[in-house]
Amino acid sequence: MKLREDLSKSKLRHRGDLPGVYKFKSIGDMNEQEKALFAKLLYYWHTDGIHLECLCKDIGPFPKLHVRESSAGKLYLSNNPGTNRGDRAHNFQCELNLPEEGYKGYLRQKGIDISEDGEITCNLKKPDKRKAAEDPQEAKIGGKTKNSSGSTPAAGENALRFLFLTLLQESRPGVHVYSPGRRREIHKRLYYTLKKTKLNKVKLNDSDFYIASSRARYNFNKHRIAIFWGDKFAHPAVDSPSNTFTVNLPVFSIADPSEKLQDISILKSVYEAATLTGRAVGTGYWVLYREENKAGKLIDTELIFEPAEPVTGIPVESSYEAQMIRRLVSEKREFKKPLIGNVTELFLAHRPDMVLLDTNPETIIEVAGFEDDDYQTRLASKREKYLERGYRYFQWDVKIPLEQLVLPPMK
C-alpha cells in the first residue's frame, strides 16, 4: 500500500493511453529517490511476473522486458531473450538492447562489452602505431571488424577514445543528452560509470582513477585512468624545468571547466604521441591511460584529447557543432548527440547526428559543413532515409548565419 502511495506522489510513472497501462521514466532520467522507489517496484514485478514492454520506439509492437537478478543479487530490467526480433527489436540506441544488439553490438566489434546490467568491459592494448600506419582502416575503427566478440582486445589508435565515449554515453543520465534545467555534474556521472567498468580484467574502484574536481587529487602511484578538462590551444603542456623526459600539463576541473586545479607531470613521449584529432575545437577532455610496467609500477601509456563543448561537456566534431549546441542550450531545447553509433543503424561510419527530443516526431539535426558533391549526395540520402523512418529532418548549412536559423517548434 505504501508503495502505491509513494508511486502516485512521484513522477516516476504516468498513465498511458490504455486503461491499466503506465509509462515509466527511463532509468537514465531517474533521480536518486526515484531509483530507490524503482528498485522496490522491480522487486514487486520480479515476484509477481508483471508484463513489461520497452517504449523506446514510437510504434509497436514493443520489445518485451522482464526483471532479472544479477550475479551480485541486484535486480535489473532485461530483455526477453529470443522474442525481441524484427518488428519487436529495440530502438538502435536503447540502453536495454542485449550486448550483441543495437549500438552495444556495434561497440562489441570494437572490443568493448556492455553487459545487460550495465557493466563495461574493455581490454585496452598499448597502441601499435606501426601497425596503425600500415592499416589506417583498422586503426580507425579500433580493432578487428569481422567475427569479433567481447574478448577482442580494443587495440588500435582509437581504442581509448572509443572507451571514453562509451563511458560518457553509458553514464546515467548519459552525458550525450541535454535536458534544460538539469545539472550536468559530469564528474559525478563519470565516477559512477567508472565504478562499473572492468579494464584489462581489473574492476576499477575509487583509487584506480582520477576525475578532476576540487575534491580530488591526482595520485601518480595509483591512478590508471585520469580524466580532466583542458584547452589544447590555450593551455598546452610546457616542458618540465627539472626533467627532460616529462611535461607539465594544466589540469582543469571536469566539474567546473573554468577552474584550474594543478599541473600534472606526463611523459613527454606520451604527450607528443597523443592522438589529438584534427578538429579545430580547443576545449575538451584529456584522458590519460596508464599501465603497469614489468616492475609493477604504473607508467603513462597513452593520452588522448577529445574536443567538447564546455557548457554541456558534449564531445563535438567541429566548432559548428559546438555553436549549434550553444544555440540549442540558449533556447532551452532538449536534445541528444549519440557518441557511440548513430541515432539508428544507418550512417554508422559518418559523424553522429544530433536529435531534438522535444519535437513530435523527433528531429534529426545535421550540421552541413562541406560543399563537395559526395557530401551533398549523402545528405540528400540521409534526409530521405530519416523521413522514411518517421523522423523530421533539419539541416543547418553553415554558410547561413546560425542566428538566422529558425529551429523546429517544440511539441
Instruction: Write down the residue that cell numbers 543547418 correspond to.
Output: 396
Assigned C-alpha cell, 51: 508484463
Min dist. Cβ of residue 252 to Zn ion (A): 36
DSSP state letters, 101-131: SHHHHHHHTTTEEE-TT--EEE-B----HHH
Piece of the chain touching Zn ion by CB under 5 A; list 87-95, 120-128, 245-253, 338-346: 87-95
Residue 114 found at the interface with Zn ion (CB under 5 A): no
Min dist. Cβ of residue 63 to Zn ion (A): 5
Assigned C-alpha cell, 364: 534529426
Pair type for strands 283-292 and 225-231:
antiparallel
Q: How far apart are CA 384 and CA 280, in angstroms?
A: 30
Please pick, from the candidates 12, 37, 42, 56, the single residue that binds Zn ion as defined by CB under 5 A.
Answer: 56
Q: Which residues pair with 14 in a beta bridge?
A: 23
- Closest to Zn ion by CB, 159 vs 177, is 177
- Closest to Zn ion by CB, 30 vs 54, is 54
Residues 156 and 127 sit within 8 Å (Cβ to Cβ) = yes
Piece of the chain touching Zn ion by CB under 5 A; list 56-64, 103-111, 148-156, 279-287: 56-64
Residue 90 found at the interface with Zn ion (CB under 5 A): yes
Assigned C-alpha cell, 410: 517544440
- Closest to Zn ion by CB, 156 vs 173, is 173
Residue 139 found at the interface with Zn ion (CB under 5 A): no
Min dist. Cβ of residue 23 to Zn ion (A): 13
- Closest to Zn ion by CB, 96 vs 114, is 96
CA 163 to chain centre: 9
Residue 96 found at the interface with Zn ion (CB under 5 A): yes
| Sheet containing strand 52-53, strands side by side | 52-53, 64-69, 75-79
Min dist. Cβ of residue 190 to Zn ion (A): 24
Min dist. Cβ of residue 209 to Zn ion (A): 30
Assigned C-alpha cell, 5: 502511495
- Closest to Zn ion by CB, 28 vs 180, is 28
- Closest to Zn ion by CB, 16 vs 236, is 16
Please pick, from the candidates 30, 41, 42, 54, the single residue that binds Zn ion as defined by CB under 5 A.
Answer: 54
Closest CA to 166 of 338, 354, 352, 343: 338
Residue 94 found at the interface with Zn ion (CB under 5 A): yes
Pair type for strands 120-122 and 197-199:
parallel
- Closest to Zn ion by CB, 63 vs 284, is 63
Min dist. Cβ of residue 358 to Zn ion (A): 20
Residues 218 and 210 sit within 8 Å (Cβ to Cβ) = yes
Site residues, Zn ion (CB under 5 A): 54, 56, 90, 94, 96
